Amino acid sequence: MARLVDLAQVLRSKNAGALLCTLDMMFEDEATYRRVLDSGAINVQRIADLYGVSNNEVSIIPYDVAYAIKVTIPRLARSGDPEDSDIYGAQQHAPLLDIEIPD
């Protein structure tokens, strides 16, 4: 089994407005992208559990032509609010790193 961090060429997060955050997973080739996508390891329940949100707040969008998976989740605090610890949403991808992807 490999970890997502070992398979993805790019793992990043960023704001999608003041209320949402996107998590981007990009892969070097179609085989790796398909391995991750088809494994079922990236699913609504897992993302909801990792980020403490409800299932209906998670959106997972595969982009076949770019070998990428985009996940959108709500931010726990509005960007720039006093309780916001990551104003740009750039450090929110860390919980994805150790997701195990079956062979």
Residue 12 inside a domain? The answer is yes
**pTM across the whole model:** 0.92
Cβ count near 41 (within 10 Å): 15
Residue 69 inside a domain? The answer is yes
Q: State the pLDDT at residue 81.
A: 84
Residue 84 inside a domain? The answer is no
Q: State the pLDDT at residue 63.
A: 97
Residue 81 inside a domain? The answer is no
The phi and psi torsions of 102 (rounded to 5 degrees) equal -65, 155
Q: State the pLDDT at residue 80.
A: 84
In CATH, what number is assigned to the domain containing residue 20?
3.30.70
Per-residue pLDDT of the chain (103 residues; tens, 9 = 90+): 999 999 999 999 999 988 999 999 999 999 999 999 999 999 999 999 999 999 999 999 999 999 999 999 999 888 888 887 888 888 999 999 999 999 8
Residue 11 inside a domain? The answer is yes
Q: State the pLDDT at residue 102.
A: 94
Residue 98 inside a domain? The answer is no
Residue 83 inside a domain? The answer is no
Written as six digits, the tokens of 75 are 């931010």
